[in-house]
Structures are given as C-alpha cells and as structure tokens.
Amino acid sequence: PLHIRQDYRTLSSSKVTCHPENVVSVGQPADLVFHRKMSVELDTFLDSDKKWFCHVDDDNYVNVERLVQVLGDYNPQEDWYLGKPSIRTPLEILNREPKPHTKPHITFWFATGGAGFCLSRALALKMMPIASGGRFMGIGEKIRLPDDVTMGYIIEHLLQKPLTVIDQFHSHLEPMKFIRQETFHEQITFSYSRYSKDEMNVVRIDGFDTRIDPTRFLSLHCFLFPHFKFCPR
C-alpha cells in the first residue's frame, strides 16, 4: 500500500562487498570508499524521518513488496538488526583495545552486505553517538575490516544488540540455483555472480534470452510482477 511505501527511501549502491575469506586492509582506497559510502547512507537515513534503513548492493534484486511485508512484522521503535550471515560461526577478530580482564579476541555476527540488511530507526538512533558524522569510517579503519563487518561490530559488539537472521536475504555467495521457483515470492533479495567464463550463478527461471538477461533479474521480475508491459506474454 502507498501509505506504507512512503515510509521507505531507497539509496543506490555501487559497491562490491568484501568478505572474511578475502579481507584486506581498510587502508586500501576501495575499502575507504565503501566505508565512506556506508557512512553517508547511514547519516542520510538519520537525517530523515524514515522508519527503516535498508542497505543492498548493486548486484541484488530486491523484492520490495516482500521486504515491506517482512518489515511490517517488526516494530521500528524497537532495536532490530535484520539480515543474514555468510559464515557458519561468529567472526573472531583481535581486540585492538584490550583492557584489564578483557579477552584478547572479540566474536560477533554480521549481516552480509551482499545479501542486504535492515536496521530499525530505534537501533540507528542508538548508533548515532558511535557511528554518525563520519565516525563509522573511523571504526572501520581501526578494526581494518569491510563495511558490512564494521556494521556488525558496532551493533553486536559495541551496542550488544543481536543479529536477527532472515533467511530470505540472499547474496552471491550462495548457489542461486537452490532457491526453488515456488518460493520466489517469499524471498526478499536475490543475487548473481559468475563461476567461470561459461557458468553463471543465477536463479533458474525461464523468460528472456540469456544474452539479454544474463543475471535473470528481468525474467525474475516478470515472474513476480507479470503485469509489466515489457514482460513476455
């Protein structure tokens, strides 16, 4: 419904998320750009009156209707960190600010940016003293990890707020072929990647020729919303 949709605002993304298996130093220019962009996204949300902050990558297809439906099950006036990890166990990193009686390592979960994640306004407001006004970039530089990991560090470790796992978020790290077509309407995000020159990691769906639609996102969109004029009849 329109009155619900007006509570949301989209911010375009043009990044490729780094992940623990290929983590590099934040000192590299690309990582600085990603942290700066996430910082600006967060500050833009905090300056608005919107209820939810949702971040997705430019290799995601977002089923907006399903996203709105799922967010409707959660109260934005409560603390919610919604997303999906890409690792099976919590991430463990070196504690760069060791204090007496503290452990040398820190463990926490983080939602993979490549699958998308959402923060409630209540949680984002609690992040303001720590991460707003460019401070997000400083934390990322200190822990030397990618932007989505930095977000998890702030929320799970510094604020002690847990990640709520939503399985309907999907990143390019997952085999898209295992998402069953009869469940497409239930999913929030989809992604794609290339395994090799001749093999793509994409959802299995009929529709447009692969030369026109190599990611299968156009075909997926027409499956979900067949009333669009450009969809095959």
Residues 6+ apart with CB under 8 A from 156: 81, 108, 109, 110, 162, 163
Helix, strand or coil, per DSSP, at residue 82: strand
Residue 227 CA to residue 223 CA, distance in Å, equals 9
Q: Which of 148, 167, 198, 206 is catalytic?
A: 148
166-168-171 Cα angle (round to 5) = 100
132 neighbors 81 (Cβ within 8 angstroms): no
Residues 6+ apart with CB under 8 A from 20: 86, 87, 91, 149
68 neighbors 112 (Cβ within 8 angstroms): no
CA atoms in the 13 A half-sphere facing the CB of 91: 27
The pair of three-digit structure tokens given for residue 201, joined into one six-digit string: 């990691």
Q: Note if 148 is an active site residue.
A: yes
Question: Which has the closest alpha carbon to 176: 149, 204, 197?
Answer: 204
154 neighbors 139 (Cβ within 8 angstroms): yes
Residue 84 CA to residue 120 CA, distance in Å, equals 15
The residues annotated as belonging to the active site are: 148
